[in-house]
Structures are given as structure tokens and as C-alpha cells.
Amino acid sequence: MSQHTPGPWKTLRGVDDDDTRWIVVAAGSDREYLIATIENGQPGDCLETEAATASLVSAAPDLLAALKEYIEWGAMTGSDRDLFDEKFRAAIEKAEGT
């Protein structure tokens, strides 16, 4: 599984007049496609956590692209590079479900 909805993704707050609900949508075409709904079910609770989670989810395509570019360009050298390459490859595999 290496395909995902292409980015960019963005966050929107206050869906259906509910200020505690955040959604993440794919905004790269003429239509917005729902990626995720983030809410805790209690009005007003954990709003900062929900906003942070929505931001992290919406950044996923950008983070994945940056990791892939890093691996391709080989920005670091020596043993440190090997350590980071291993971690970055694992993150890419997790994101792509491989």
C-alpha cells in the first residue's frame, strides 16, 4: 500500500457549527476530500490537542515527501547518516504501509 490521497492537506475548524471538531481535507484539486475528523466528543475539551493533531495529520504528505527527498539527496555523511537513513526509511515504510 503505497498510494495515499495526494497533498496538500489542510485543517478546518468548526465543522457543522461545532468549534471542537476539526477536519483534515485534501485541498489539491477543485474539490476538497475528507481525510480525517478529529474530535474528542466533549464540547470545549482538549481543543489544543485536537488542533495539534489535525495539524500533524495535515502535514503528513509534506513530511513524507521531505523524508523521501532527504533519502534521495543523502544530505548527511558517515555513520550518522546510516542511523538517520534507517529511521527515515522506517517512517516512510510506516506511512506507506509497506
User: What does the pLDDT look like over 23-45, one tens digit per residue?
Assistant: 899 987 677 888 998 877 666 56
69 contact partners, CB below 8 Å, separation of at least 6 = none
* Bridge partners (DSSP) listed for residue 12: 23
Confidence of residue 7 (pLDDT cuts 50, 70, 90): confident
- Above 80 in pLDDT, residue 19? no
Give domain limits for the chain.
9-96
pLDDT digits (tens, 9 = 90+) for 62-83: 888 888 877 777 655 555 667 7
